[in-house]
Structure 1
């Protein structure tokens, strides 16, 4: 079993990037959001433009990041995955600096992360997207399908997510845990998924899955 998890709105209770933009960027970030939703910009283009609008020094940025909360049960879930030798990675179309800052505050800075890369230069912010792929169905700065495809295979692939950037990659998983937009997407397409409120739900469901698999294997 390999476990892949989205970050914004999945591990965090709110979308981290939107939270930062609402507080530290001018209102024009919403115009870029509208352009993306209407198809005039790709998700990757939208993110690059929005991040460049952040107008705050790094200390102010850090203070806003430090106010964000993670979803209940996530730290325990990380410990559970390690105890059972189930590799866990975060795949996010968010920002590496944001993710790492939040995880380190909870003692979780060791989790592998695949995301966009933030460059900070004299309180100016630039987003690099080394994990983008031409032709990616999501148009995101991080092609989640390519990342999952490049990882070692496992009998069971688990994906946990909530948003638009998770739509395509959810079809590559044997077990999908979904909430919000991803749950709506899966429901509309008749795609099987397990709803969850927090990571206690995910841990219980995966514990049951492993127990049932062990029973089946033992005949």
Structure 2
């Protein structure tokens, strides 16, 4: 039996042209956010701790302007709409697996026919004095990275004997997942990591590139 194709697709820097969390931080520039990023780079903080601490720098009263900025300034990568249709037409299960936040991911994906249950991301609360990030997709027993939104846990939930697992991503947050899948589509920092470890990958700039390669590759 042929395996079913399933795609795990990152959002920030992959579906969108740039990273939306970084864009928010650079635009509003809350004091201390760059120090938090450096602590992440130095491995003093986990990804979950860093993202949570960065958004806690904002008072919850700024919700409207932050949400508005994120949605209005994000650019969807060329070919994504066609790619969603391609997956539907070819029986490919498409999951959006993102370390981004619900308040910009759901509105930006609303124009596309992707069911909410196929979107995995972090959640948010504006009920307290500062913005609180919530973590509905935590690491499983096999991951100790404290990801926040654990992509490897989601990938592992789809049996490799049944599914041809495909990952599309751009950054360090996609790298652990890239170790588990059959096929990697990479850009930006993920390319550097794949080269460093000797992992095979297909580079892409648009989703048209990905569709062309999927057409050329028979289902395993």
**Is TM-score (shorter-chain normalized) higher than 0.5?**
yes
Moved over 6 A (4+): none
CA–CA separation in structure 2 for the residues paired with 1:99 and 1:152: 27
Q: Which runs of 5+ in 2 are unaligned?
A: none
1:147-176 residue CA offsets vs partner (Å, 9 max, x unmatched): 111135534111000111111110111110
CA–CA separation in structure 2 for the residues paired with 1:84 and 1:173: 20
**Map of 1:176 onto structure 2:** 184
Matches within 5 A, 1:8-157: 8-55=12-59, 57-65=62-70, 66-104=72-110, 106-108=111-113, 110=115, 112-121=118-127, 124-133=130-139, 136=143, 138-151=145-158, 153=160, 154-157=162-165
Q: Which runs of 5+ in 1 are unaligned?
A: 215-219
TM-score (norm 2): 0.88
CA–CA separation in structure 2 for the residues paired with 1:11 and 1:138: 24
CA–CA separation in structure 2 for the residues paired with 1:42 and 1:97: 22
What is the Cα-based RMSD across aligned positions, in Å? 2.0
**Which secondary structure state, in structure 2, belongs to the residue aligned with residue 30 of structure 1?**
helix
Q: Which has the higher contact order (CA 8 A, sep 6+)?
A: 2
Q: Say whether the 8 Å CA contact 1:100–1:109 is kept in structure 2.
A: no
Choose which of 144, 168, 191 in structure 1 pairs with 2:199.
Answer: 191
Q: Number of paired residues?
A: 211
